[in-house]
Structure 1
Amino acid sequence: MNWRDYQARQRVVELGHRFISYVDEGQGEPMVLLHGIPTWGFLWSGLLPALSLTHRVLIPDLLGYGFSDRREGFDRSIARQAEAMDAWLERLGVRNAVVVGHDIGGGVAQHLSVRFPQRVSRLCLMNSICFDSWPIEMMVQLGHPRVARRLSAQVVHRALRMALKRTGFATAPPDGVLEGLLEPYATEVGKTSLVRNAAALDTNQTQELAAKLAHVAVPTRLVWGVDDTFQPVKWGERLAWEIPGAKLVRVAHARHYVMWDQPHAVMTALYDFLGMEMRPVLEGAEQRDGEVPFIPGPLI
């Protein structure tokens, strides 16, 4: 699906003076998918059709991102995002969920696991920030106040597109994906909000969790594109060491956006983590709808 089709599926819920846009599809055990910077919920659009066959899939745009509230005057840190996710799940009546986080979404997921453990039934981190692995230089530069003042949305959008295309993907993503991932930030309002998001990146907010990860008591799976230069796999190895019982799945021929470089491998890892087999799921979709959700590669 393109980004417009995905956005058309979004709903909106108010949280105090702010609001969150999100997708809510499928039935079954809830699964929350958290994006990173500089993306939004569309990041997960390639996996949504298959995952929603077996789970209630909930994909929020974090505060300040995508089509959630992008106004001025609020805290956009990962600690605050975790509090917002807790309040959002409470508003939806979701007691707990499988939580999957990518990039800073992985940092939010770690905060949820440590500070709101009742919300997390299982934890999956994909090429996640952790410890002092972040922010990367590109995001440090993006978060400087002069970017919002001096650079147009067009200039920032073009620079981000070039950077992600060059280093974020191991192979060219499907047509429209890269453009869709950055679309909410193509306007002046979107650019300013993204700069504020980058300025809120604070490595102290994962460092403070370091000693607490040993107390994460839910099943944990780490899925990592091994060619990632933004969050190298050594950080996944450290997380696997620190979180009790965590298993690291290394995904070859994948960079930061592992779910687009190797969607079949990611789906296989997720279904294995959930104790499910992928073939019956996809065969069931074929019998019901006449087509299988888009997952490149041979079926397992």
Structure 2
Amino acid sequence: MTPLAGIPLGDWRAQGRGMDFQGRRIRYWTAGEGEPLLLIHGFPTASWDWHYLWEPLSRRYRVIACDMLGFGYSDKPRGHDYRLLEQADLQQALLATLGVEGPVHVLAHDYGDSVAQELLARHHEGRFKLASCVFLNGGLFPETHRPVLVQKLLLSPVGGLVGRLFSRRKLAASFAQVFGPDTQPGDLELDDFWRLIAEQNGPAVMHRLIHYIPERRQQRDRWVAAMQKGGVPLGVIDGAVDPISGAHMVERYRELVPDADTVLLEGIGHYPQTEAPEQVLEHYLAFRGRQK
């Protein structure tokens, strides 16, 4: 399998564009032609997470991604009440800005899985047109989500202090726990992940962003019902050894979702799109092929 080259962070940043969302500045990217494919990133990183897959996917689809509010190169307002539902509004606003009106395919990861679940629920409510959705590692079910220590601390009464003290060293320690044993990020990759988080003093809002965890519990029944309803092709491509949302999450998915289309990547952790991008691409294209 030929390794994918990826895009250096500086080049990625230069390719971005800006849009306004409720008075906030949002950075977004788009490339390619054809059916629209919306890529939705996770916590605490940004849409650069997709950089290995960006060019190969753009040869087949019109790929679209943004750094959500509070992430990456987008605005990170202090004191803001960050909500997954608002991030779904942002995705719809981005598509409207780009003139995308027809059904949209979605590939999501982690926090982005929850945003995608909301879009799926809106599809069934007649408020969005979703063509298909594939989830990478994420907390699709609160009962299987196993947060790491820093997430628990961010949710605690001292969360604001924990966020302000978050550092590259602590990021490296957290990632070491959730990446696969043989696919750990290198120092340069960690530097880039940290730059995205540190942009505009991002650690100062991490304790506010983390409220997606209780919000998932609030929306759980609505979102699971949307996944069970059918009518939209769904798939899961999951790093099996991820302690947060690995094989145990996929087991629950198979219990709850009819005709579950799932792939487990052995030895891969929480970030399959950077740990094993070639495998993710292969399985994603196979998923799309099965829909024809």
Q: TM-score range by the shorter chain?
A: 0.7 to 0.9
Give deviations 1:198-248, integer Å, cap 9, x for gaps: 244323244232233212421111101111111122212322443343300
Q: What is the TM-score when the length of structure 1 is the normalising length?
A: 0.83
Contact 2:163 2:203 in 1 (8 A): no
Which of the residues 256, 261, 269 maps onto 1:247?
261
**2:134 corresponds to:** 124
Contact 2:30 2:65 in 1 (8 A): yes
- What is the CA–CA distance in structure 2 between the aligned matches of 1:68 and 1:82, rounded to whole Å? 15
Unaligned 5+ runs, structure 2: 1-6
- What is the CA–CA distance in structure 2 between the aligned matches of 1:150 and 1:243, rounded to whole Å? 37
- What is the CA–CA distance in structure 2 between the aligned matches of 1:195 and 1:78, rounded to whole Å? 14
**1:160 corresponds to:** 171
- What is the CA–CA distance in structure 1 between the aligned matches of 2:46 and 2:35, rounded to whole Å? 23
Unaligned 5+ runs, structure 1: 277-300
3-state secondary structure, aligned to 1:72:
coil
Contact 2:78 2:204 in 1 (8 A): no
1:30 matched to 2:36? The reply is yes
- What is the CA–CA distance in structure 1 between the aligned matches of 2:257 and 2:76, rounded to whole Å? 34
- What is the CA–CA distance in structure 2 between the aligned matches of 1:9 and 1:143, rounded to whole Å? 34
- What is the CA–CA distance in structure 1 between the aligned matches of 2:136 and 2:163, rounded to whole Å? 31
1:195-214 to 2 correspondences below 5 Å: 195-202=207-214, 203-208=216-221, 209-214=223-228
1:266 matched to 2:280? The reply is yes
Q: Which amino acid aligns with 2:263?
A: V
Contact 2:76 2:200 in 1 (8 A): no
Give deviations 1:53-90, integer Å, cap 9, x for gaps: 11111111111111112113433222221122122212
- What is the CA–CA distance in structure 2 between the aligned matches of 1:233 and 1:247, rounded to whole Å? 14
Cα distance change of structure 1 residues 141 and 42 upon mapping to structure 2, 3 Å threshold = same
Runs of 4+ in structure 1 deviating by more than 4 angstroms, as ranges, are 150-153
Contact 1:67 1:184 in 2 (8 A): yes
Contact 2:45 2:72 in 1 (8 A): yes
Which of the residues 86, 99, 106 maps onto 1:99?
106
- What is the CA–CA distance in structure 1 between the aligned matches of 2:202 and 2:186, rounded to whole Å? 24
Contact 2:113 2:135 in 1 (8 A): yes
RMSD (Å) for aligned C-alpha atoms: 2.2
Contact 1:38 1:182 in 2 (8 A): no
- What is the CA–CA distance in structure 1 between the aligned matches of 2:212 and 2:282, rounded to whole Å? 34
- What is the CA–CA distance in structure 2 between the aligned matches of 1:205 and 1:43, rounded to whole Å? 27
**1:290 corresponds to:** none
**1:294 corresponds to:** none
- What is the CA–CA distance in structure 1 between the aligned matches of 2:279 and 2:199, rounded to whole Å? 35
Cα displacement (A) at 1:17 = 1.6
- What is the CA–CA distance in structure 2 between the aligned matches of 1:143 and 1:7, rounded to whole Å? 30
Contact 2:237 2:283 in 1 (8 A): yes
**1:296 corresponds to:** none
Contact 1:99 1:123 in 2 (8 A): yes
3-state secondary structure, aligned to 1:164:
helix
1:53 matched to 2:59? The reply is yes
Cα distance change of structure 1 residues 150 and 219 upon mapping to structure 2, 3 Å threshold = closer
- What is the CA–CA distance in structure 1 between the aligned matches of 2:163 and 2:89, rounded to whole Å? 32
Seq. identity, %? 27
Contact 1:128 1:231 in 2 (8 A): yes
Give deviations 1:159-187, integer Å, cap 9, x for gaps: 12221034324313356222222312225
**1:287 corresponds to:** none
Contact 1:114 1:216 in 2 (8 A): no
Cα distance change of structure 1 residues 23 and 273 upon mapping to structure 2, 3 Å threshold = same
1:220 matched to 2:230? The reply is no
**1:84 corresponds to:** 90
**2:3 corresponds to:** none
- What is the CA–CA distance in structure 2 between the aligned matches of 1:224 and 1:206, rounded to whole Å? 22
Contact 1:86 1:116 in 2 (8 A): no
